[in-house]
Amino acid sequence: MLGTILIIDAVSTNRIMLKVQLSAAWYHVVQADRLQGLMPLVRRTRPDLIVTAMALPDGSAAALHAALQRDPSTAAIPVIAISAQNDRAARLAALAAGIDDVLGHPVDDTLLQARIRSLLRSRSSAEDLGQDQDTRDTFGLAEAAQGFELPPAVARVALVTADAATATLWRARLKPHVPHHLSPHRLGGVQSLLAEPVPDAIVVELSGASGTPPGLRLLADLRARNGSRQAAIIAVADPADRRLAAEALDRGAHDVMPGGFCERELALRLNTQLRHKARADGLRRTVRNGLRAAVRDPLTGLYNRRHALPHLARVAREAAATGSGFAVMLADLDHFKAINDRFGHQAGDAVLAETARRLQGALRPNDMIARIGGEEFMIVMPATGPDAAARSAERLRARIEDTGFGIPGIAGPVTVTISIGVVAGPPAIPVSGAGDPSANGLIRQADRALYDAKGAGRNRISLRCPAA
């Protein structure tokens, strides 16, 4: 089965017809005839999408949508409402209430199937980003996600039509209904459309020309390009060609207007799609920040062990391939426990953060430093021979010792020293991954060098050069 769809309609023949259409497309269909008792059914069956009649015996499609929004576990379920044919007022009211789409009765099966596919794709993408409530709760994103609901107060919207006169007319008619910046474009000259900054939303005219209309080709192109892929795309189809709306959805449009241009309807659809885009953009930022946090130490801002080990493996592989050397250092603060015991853990945290700042400031841009333990740091220096590694290690050691550490609430600077074990040598050690014994071997050798530095009195460096 492709998914579960809930049909809500008091008219049994309507439910049967829709069930036949959807079952033929391999959807699992659940049915209901009223709002009463509906939410327990929704929670039990967990539908991927709901198709509902506009009017129900005890409510409406808008009331259904509101009930879904009140429960975080159901708020993301897309809703398609079926209205009476040519009931423009009902369609606009439903779109204003936040319903995803409104199709007229009798329902065109091709358009319905395409709209369902489009909405399910969007929901699947949102779930991949962690929009579903379970994932938000698990990763602590629930509070942040609420802020994603607000689109920009003034968005950039491109109006792309077959001729300049149509774009100008659409702009004039749409402007009173939206606060957004509207820019007209011709289908034959969209180079400026793809330049920075890319519009937040793109409205594309689809004409019923023979063959593949240029608007359809543009949809596929927009969805394929990195710059425009995240823009909200709405297709305005020629009502004389019913195939265009369905094909536009399958080519990647987020929304369509099968009945042609209507400024009030387009304004509502723009608001909905900009809201979806804002939420998706926020979720992508959260995912990026989460991935960054997964490889960063929160106290110092340095990389952590999860990043450091694969990075070491990469540097070793590249060294073996190019014939250049590299160095690995383990640096450990001396008597750090005494700092915590004497001044408190907040003072210890301040020392760690300042140590990280000093060490990082003394390294080259292509060197990597990570905090891999309590007061232990790993440094990986590509294209570095033994002599250069020893000089760098001594520079790092002096950078810690030469200037005392100022700690909030403590009079006078605190003297801190560091010991550093260095392994530098030829690139003859093959490393295939973070868990490769050779990578662990390099770390063990650096750890033994660090042990030598500690044993020799601390506040010094110790260099080991393994044989090729």
Residue 210 has pLDDT above 70, yes or no: no
Q: Which two tokens stand for residue 353?
A: 């953060």
pLDDT score, position 433? 47
pLDDT band at 1 (very low <50, low <70, confident <90, very high): low
Average pLDDT over residues 384-396: 95
Mean pLDDT of 153-180: 95
How distant, in Å, are the alpha carbons of 135, 141, 284, 445 from that of 148? 16, 11, 10, 49
Q: What is the mean pLDDT of residues 165-171?
A: 95
Instruction: Quote the pLDDT of residue 285.
Output: 84
Q: Residue 211: its pLDDT value, please?
A: 67
Quote the pLDDT of residue 340. Answer: 93
Instruction: For the chain, give the mean pLDDT.
Output: 88
Positive or negative CA dihedral for 402, 404, 405, 406?
Answer: negative
**Quick one: what percent of the chain has pLDDT higher than 90?**
68
Phi and psi dihedrals of 394, rounded to 5?
-65, -40
Element (H, E) at 53: strand 49-53
Q: What is the Cα–Cα distance from 436 to 101, expressed in whole angstroms?
A: 54
Domain 142-289 is classified in which CATH homologous superfamily?
Response regulator (3.40.50.2300)
136, 380, 450 from 146: Cα distances, Å = 11, 41, 49
Q: Using pLDDT thresholds of 50, 70 and 90, give the confidence band for residue 68.
A: very high
**How many whole angstroms from its chain centre is CA 301?**
21
User: Stretch 145-172: mean pLDDT, rounded?
Assistant: 84
Q: Which residues contact 373 (CB under 8 A, 6 or more apart)?
A: 305
Going from N- to C-terminal start, the domains of the chain cover 1-107, 142-289, 305-464
pLDDT at 394: 97
Q: Which fold is adopted by the domain 305-464?
A: Alpha-Beta Plaits (3.30.70)
Q: CA-to-CA distance for 363 and 148, rounded, in angstroms? A: 38
Give the Cα separation of 299 and 118 in Å (integer). Answer: 43
- Reply yes or no on whether the pLDDT at 294 is more than 90: no
**What value does the mean pLDDT take over residues 197-202?**
92
pLDDT of residue 195: 72
Where residue 11 falls among pLDDT bands split at 50, 70, 90? very high
Q: Are 431 and 317 in contact (CB under 8 A)?
A: yes
**Model-level pTM?**
0.74
Does residue 434 surpass a pLDDT of 90? no
Stretch 391-411: mean pLDDT, rounded?
93
* 184 confidence band (pLDDT: 50, 70, 90): very high
Question: In this structure, is the dihedral angle defined by the CA atoms of residues 464, 396, 297 and 314, taken in order, positive or negative?
Answer: negative
> Averaged over 413-440, what is the pLDDT?
72
Are 273 and 255 in contact by the 8 Å Cβ rule? The answer is yes
Enter the tokens of residue 113: 């199937």
Residue 443 is which amino acid?
A: I
Residue 435 in this model has a pLDDT that exceeds 50: no
Whether the per-residue pLDDT at 31 is higher than 80: the answer is yes
Q: Helix crossing, 263-294 with 88-96: angle to 10°?
A: 20
**Pick from 107, 119, 136: nearest CA to 20:** 107
Is residue 412's pLDDT more than 90?
no
Residue 141 confidence class, pLDDT cut points 50, 70, 90: very low
| Span 233-275, pLDDT tens digits | 999 999 888 889 999 999 999 999 999 999 999 999 999 999 9
**Closest CA relative to residue 61, chosen from 118, 20, 102:** 102
Residue type, 141: L
Same CATH fold assignment for domains 1-107 and 142-289? yes
Nearest CA-CA partner of 199 in 170, 226, 174, 228: 228
Rounded mean pLDDT, 199-219: 85
pLDDT, residue 62, reads 96
Grade residue 329 by pLDDT with cuts at 50, 70 and 90: very high
pLDDT higher than 80, residue 452: yes
Residue 301 reports pLDDT greater than 90:
yes
Q: How many other C-beta atoms can be found within 10 angstroms of the C-beta atom of residue 130?
A: 19
What local confidence, expressed as pLDDT, does residue 400 receive?
97
Mean pLDDT of 382-404: 95
The CATH-assigned architecture of domain 1-107 is 3-Layer(aba) Sandwich (3.40)
Query: pLDDT tens for residues 70-108?
Result: 999 999 999 999 998 778 899 999 999 999 999 998 889
